[in-house]
Amino acid sequence: EAAVTQSPRNKVAVTGGKVTLSCNQTNNHNNMYWYRQDTGHGLRLIHYSYGAGSTEKGDIPDGYKASRPSQENFSLILELATPSQTSVYFCASGRDSANSDYTFGSGTRLLVI
């Protein structure tokens, strides 16, 4: 069954440390997205990708990097984690067409202490 799998499900990181959130999709979708979800802010787009080797800045890219080494994998990297990056992060995949919905992963809960 086509799916989007995120790892880890939960992560505790120290301030200043490096954090990598991973996302794998078996949908063969060209597009992949990273969002963070915080109470009162809905879903905010951090980075997205149109295919292997491509990354684009979303609405709130500061403090985050992204990597898309293959069609299936899309990573979100926090080089120097800060407590303000404590959040729930969702990865999603979708086709590169206007009628495409997203398939979301189960989310990663990140706590930066």
Task: Provide the binding-site residues for another protein, judged by CB under 8 A.
Answer: 30-31, 33, 40-43, 45, 48, 50, 90, 92, 94-102, 104-107
- The least CB distance from residue 54 to another protein, in Å, is 11
Q: Which is nearer to another protein, 11 or 95 (CB)?
A: 95
- The least CB distance from residue 21 to another protein, in Å, is 14
Query: Between the CA atoms of 37, 62, 30 and 90, what dihedral angle is there, to the nearest 10 degrees?
Result: -20
DSSP-based helix, strand, coil % in the chain, nearest 5: 5, 50, 45
Q: Which is nearer to another protein, 82 or 106 (CB)?
A: 106
Handedness of CA 55, 17, 72, 106 (dihedral sign): negative
Count the Cβ atoms, other than its own, within 10 Å of residue 2.
Answer: 10
Q: Which is nearer to another protein, 9 or 18 (CB)?
A: 9
- The least CB distance from residue 101 to another protein, in Å, is 5
